[in-house]
A = this chain, B = another copy of it.
């Protein structure tokens, strides 16, 4: 897990309600908009994603907030993209060795890439991903490309 963060994912109760706030209310322009997820570029090489909370909880292996009175970190993940699947394996292993809790061992992701999730000591979940469909250019711009999902 290198010192780099490119993607912040908020698990939201209602993506349509989030869209009314961020797009209609604040005037933000999505980078990509699907039925159940919105992506915004929010800085050089930086993307904020709004994703259904239940889907995020399931996908990232997050603890169910309702099952824990403490539930400190809630439904949010911090994302780091690496150039290969092998680097996902290595980064997840390194974070586990550093005392992180592996929430989801590296595996094929439903969106066509490869990823794993590791929680830091407070349970904040980092996603380490190889995503051939999401390109972070050297100049800080970000774009999505077509990828063949399995």
A-side residues, CB < 8 A to B, are 1-6, 8, 10-14, 17-18, 20-22, 24-26, 28-29, 40-46, 48, 53, 65-66, 69-76, 78, 94-95, 97-100, 120-122, 124, 140
Q: Report how far A53 CA is from B122 CA in the complex, Å.
A: 10
Residues of B contacting A94 with CB < 8 Å? 26
Q: Report how far A74 CA is from B62 CA in the complex, Å.
A: 13
Task: Assess the A44–B44 pair: CB atoms within 8 A.
Answer: yes
Tally of this chain's copies: 2
Task: Assess the A72–B53 pair: CB atoms within 8 A.
Answer: yes
Other than A44-B44, A53-B72, give 20 A-B pairs with Cβ distance below 8 A. Answer: A5-B48, A8-B8, A8-B78, A10-B122, A10-B124, A12-B122, A21-B98, A21-B100, A25-B98, A43-B46, A46-B46, A48-B78, A53-B122, A65-B72, A65-B74, A72-B75, A73-B74, A74-B75, A76-B76, A140-B140
